[in-house]
Amino acid sequence: MAKKVKFLQGNEACVEGALMAGMTFYSGYPITPSTEIAELSAEKLPRIGGKFIQMEDEIAGIAAAIGASLTGAKAMTATSGPGFSLKQENIGYAALAEVPVVIVNVQRGGPSTGLPTAPGQGDLMQAMWGTHGDHPVICLTPDSVKETFDLTIRAFNLAEKYRTPVILLTDEITGHMREKIEIPDASEIEVYNRIKPNQGDEYKAYKVYDGDLVPKMADFGSGFRYHVTGLMHDETGFPSNSTKNAGVLMNRLMAKIEDNLDDLITYEEVEVADAEYLIVSYGGTARTAKAAIKTLRNEGIKVGLFRPITVWPFPEKQVAELSKKVKNILVAELNYGQMVREVERVVKGNCDVRHCGKANGEVLTPEELIRAFKEVL
Amino acid sequence: MNHPLAEGFFRMEKLPHIWCPGCGHGIIMASIARAIDKLGLDKDKVCIVSGIGCSSRAPGYMDFNTLHTTHGRALAFATGVKLANPELEVIVIAGDGDLSAIGGNHLIHAARRNIGLTTICFNNNIYGMTGGQYSPTTPTSEKGTTAPYGNIDKPFDITQLAIGAGATYAAKTTAYHVPQMDKLMEAAIAHKGFSLVEAISICPTYYGRKNKKGSAVDMMNFLKDSFIDHKVAEKLPPEKKEGKFLIGEFLNKVEPEYTEQYDKIIAQLKK
Amino acid sequence: MSKQLELRLSGSGGQGLITAGIILAEAALKDNKNAIQTQSYGPEARGGASKAEVIISETSIDFPKVTLPNMTLALTQIASDKYIKDITEDGTIIIDDSITLPAGVTAKNVYKVPIIKTAINEVGKEIVANIVALGLIVGLTGIVSRESLEAAIMARIPKGTEDLNRLALEKGYELAKQV
């Protein structure tokens, strides 16, 4: 089958991927540099009978997506820095109420309004810890236009499979650059749909039945009249003040992630087999690292790249293993040091860990990374 | 023996409710159930959405598709439910603080879109769940735990706010005026487009005690004596209207409904 | 650098330089090359100084941004003052003939070409200056094939403007012969 070759921005590829994954609902609020995702969704969704709505604010953007998901729609919202902050409460709601939804954050520079049209990677920790209370998090980070397409599909699939919000954490670099992408035929794409109860079966909305990973999810309006709440609830879905019950629920939610790390975690390794030095980088900045590694390898330096594609849960085991083989790990990211803390945590002193960061709205250039690397040497 | 309405529309095992003795909320909740019964709606196609607060616990007791969301956001969640599946009859239950303070932006925009949601505001003029703080509908100079010297804010008229924002149905009633409430509730749910019923409730525990309004019965008597239908009021001499608050149906008009408009775009694109 | 062209197109917002960058990159894809296009955004939608950057390569492209272009184009004085000084030693600078080259800027080749005048006087529309510029760049570098460039242009322009754009492209190629 002839593949469709397109020249797309990451933001456009995100929408193409979402549609391929079965997105039928988008709600959001305009914000740079994510707006193309809303614009393209507005154009394409009604053409397939789906729905787009521009809500009155960022909070409503995610709220409407969660509401739509409860009717059976595959729903997405996209935003950037300030909007991601505003959406946090309802990300926690979706996690506790176990409503599949995809949240895209095209990261921009700086805190507050910052640098709206420039890249940054300062939201990595927020993606994990942004909403209050412990909660499960799945967060994926692409480094190319094609991977934005692929990971958007994966984000929908994981949201449906694990009944949890999935964050696609991109950045202005991959969001706005245009690159070649071969769009596969729909028949080549694996699409996962949430498991629904059968009519007539006993149904407790939050009970995990034998053999299932998560509770079956009935569409609102399909004959199962159940209750959804952001309060701690028992397996019927109704609020419960029982601390014992709250513990059971929290354990179950966290175990969805902890027990399935192999399914959730993906990563890329470049030239790690004989590496004496390791660069850890992700998202758009990993492109800088790939270029730098080529130059350094040409100089005879044995350096490799570990690129987490799933950033949450963090590929802890993989980084720990590599840290036993290399002399040094340099973490390159567009912030003052976020992933580096996670790397330090999992390396447990096996090797030296350094940081190469930048947070002024510019990308990190290969030359800058090479300079930082040589300083470490 | 339970009332047949209770058996048909409530989750009996979830009752009794959490509301205080004398609270007006149960009366309003029952009126919603009677309206749904009267309209003969399919229970499986009714979705009740709420935010956070005393009134927002109502959906947990009601035997429909029920969604208890985050504080202030019920209308935003409900907009997603309705747009994704316009077949559903979506009713939003919200308190005065939930709807007009933290959720005020969603209220005006849902009204502006004229999306087919019915919003029932349980207005008790106070934040009850958190213990009696003043709300956007607490009258000026009345007290709350956060207005110990009297409230200096001006209150919202939620019904007029909805009308100003573009709602196509708006009515106000009280927990005392039950026959009127039942009619308005029914009309609001049957209405195509954004409808709002502001039901004045009573909170003897916080608002009543803070402001020396007496017992629940005294507060009910206040509703009875102080609120008159605006159509009746039109015919009364000025002295009989003094100090009275107007209730009844204030707006009922037909305008294009949002999800139908969206479906038209889909239909056009299919051609 | 012979295999990789790093090109910066600059001018004012609304001159269609981002579109030109996309067209050139799409033409490169048609030639089975790799290409990445990026742009910098200011708050202005129109006016100001805007730039689009394109990397075209025979091999895969890791770092997507242009740091030191080997070819730059400027259509306005403001853009020239802001964006033209970064250039490789063996690079090429192309400026509209309305522009005074900022002092101290040097490159192997500096071409001052009547791009906008050609668009106005010989094609009849200033708006197609971007297409004239594309003809000029491809005429000078041969970085993409003429068939692919024309096909890429035709796929991106509004219906009904095909002849206008074809003429603009021809005029660009003619300018390339003259420099």
User: pLDDT tens digits, residue range B165-205?
Assistant: 999 999 999 999 999 999 999 999 999 999 999 999 999 99
Q: Residue A362 contacts by C-beta under 8 Å, 6 or more apart in sequence?
A: A118, A119
Residue with tokens 């005020």: B104
Decide: helix, strand or coil at residue A98. Answer: coil
ipTM: 0.97
User: pLDDT tens digits, residue range A13-66?
Assistant: 999 999 999 999 999 999 999 999 999 999 999 999 999 999 999 999 999 999
CA dist., res. A250 & res. A240, Å (int): 13
Higher pLDDT, A377 or A89: A89
**Where do the H-state alpha helices sit in chain C?**
17-30, 77-83, 115-117, 129-141, 146-156, 162-178
Are residues B170 and B232 in contact, defined by beta-carbon separation less than 8 angstroms?
no
Q: Which CATH class is domain A4-188?
A: alpha beta
Q: Which pLDDT value is given to residue A337?
A: 98
Are residues A352 and A328 in contact, defined by beta-carbon separation less than 8 angstroms?
yes
Which subunits sit against C, judged by 3+ Cβ pairs under 8 A?
Answer: A
How distant is the Cα of C62 from the closest Cα of chain A, in angstroms? 5
Domain residue ranges of chain A, discontinuous segments joined by +: 4-188, 267-376
Inter-chain touch C64–A284, beta carbons under 8 Å = yes
Q: How many CB contacts within 8 angstroms connect chain A with chain C?
A: 52
The CATH number given to whatever domain includes residue B193 is: 3.40.50.970
Q: Which CATH class is domain C4-178?
A: alpha beta
User: pLDDT tens digits, residue range B18-30?
Assistant: 999 999 999 999 9
Closest CA to A103 of A120, A80, A134: A80
CB burial of C117-140 (b: ≥16 within 10 Å; e: otherwise) equals: ebbbeebeeebbbbbbbbbbbbbb
Inter-chain touch C22–A32, beta carbons under 8 Å = no
Inter-chain touch A176–C64, beta carbons under 8 Å = no
Are residues C25 and C66 in contact, defined by beta-carbon separation less than 8 angstroms?
no
Mean pLDDT of B57-66: 97
Chain B residues with CB under 8 Å of A27 CB are 79-80, 83
Residue numbers of the domain that contains B68: 4-270
Q: Looking at chain B from residue 127 to 156, which residues have their Cβ under 8 Å from any Cβ of chain A? A: none
User: pLDDT tens digits, residue range A149-195?
Assistant: 999 999 999 999 999 999 999 999 999 999 999 999 999 999 999 99
Are residues B170 and B250 in contact, defined by beta-carbon separation less than 8 angstroms?
yes
Q: Which pLDDT value is given to residue C43?
A: 67
Q: Which pLDDT value is given to residue C3?
A: 65
Q: Which CATH class is domain A267-376?
A: alpha beta
Q: Which pLDDT value is given to residue C2?
A: 46
Q: Residue C111 contacts by C-beta under 8 Å, 6 or more apart in sequence?
A: C92, C93, C94, C95, C140, C179
Q: Which pLDDT value is given to residue C67?
A: 86
Chain C residues with CB under 8 Å of A288 CB are 62-63
Mutate to test the interface with C, among A7, A80, A182, A371 (most CBs of C within 10 A): A7
CA dist., res. A223 & res. A214, Å (int): 20
Q: Which pLDDT value is given to residue C25?
A: 98
Cis upstream peptide for B155 (omega within 30°): no
**Mutual angle of helices B178-190 and B25-39, in 10-degree steps:** 50
CA dist., res. C6 & res. A273, Å (int): 32
Percent of chain A residues topping a pLDDT of 90: 98
pLDDT at B46 over 90: yes
Q: Number of folded domains in chain B?
A: 1
Return the DSSP state at A367.
H
The closest CB to that of A68, out of B66, B81, B106, belongs to B81
Interface C:B, ≥3 CB–CB pairs < 8 Å:
no
CA dist., res. A7 & res. A144, Å (int): 12
Interface C:A, ≥3 CB–CB pairs < 8 Å:
yes
Mean pLDDT of A312-327: 98
Tens-digit pLDDT string for chain C (179 aa):
346 899 999 999 889 999 999 999 999 999 999 999 998 766 666 777 889 999 999 999 999 999 899 999 999 999 999 999 999 999 999 999 999 998 889 899 999 999 999 999 999 999 999 999 999 999 999 999 999 999 999 999 999 999 999 999 999 999 999 98
List, as one string, the DSSP characters of C84-101. Answer: SS---TT-EEEEETTPPP
Q: Residue B240 contacts by C-beta under 8 Å, 6 or more apart in sequence?
A: none
Inter-chain touch C38–A177, beta carbons under 8 Å = yes
CA dist., res. A342 & res. A348, Å (int): 10
The closest CB to that of A5, out of C29, C38, C62, belongs to C29
Mean pLDDT of A205-230: 97
Q: Residue B28 contacts by C-beta under 8 Å, 6 or more apart in sequence?
A: B55, B120, B122, B175, B181, B199, B201
Torsion of CA B151, B152, B156, B157, to 10 degrees: 80
Which subunits sit against A, judged by 3+ Cβ pairs under 8 A?
Answer: B, C
Mean pLDDT of B221-242: 95
Mutate to test the interface with A, among B79, B129, B269 (most CBs of A within 10 A): B79
Residue A74 token pair: 């595959």
CA dist., res. A292 & res. A303, Å (int): 10
Mean pLDDT of A64-78: 98
CATH topology agreement for domains A4-188 and A267-376: yes
Chain A residues with CB under 8 Å of C32 CB are none
Where do the DSSP E strands lie in A175-327?
178-183, 227-229, 267-270, 277-281, 303-308, 310-312
Q: Which pLDDT value is given to residue C83?
A: 92
- A46 Cβ under 8 Å from any chain B Cβ: yes
pLDDT at B227 over 80: yes
For residue B113, the tally of other CB atoms under 10 A from its CB is 23
Inter-chain touch A177–C63, beta carbons under 8 Å = no
Single-letter code of the amino acid located at C145: S
CA dist., res. C56 & res. C29, Å (int): 9
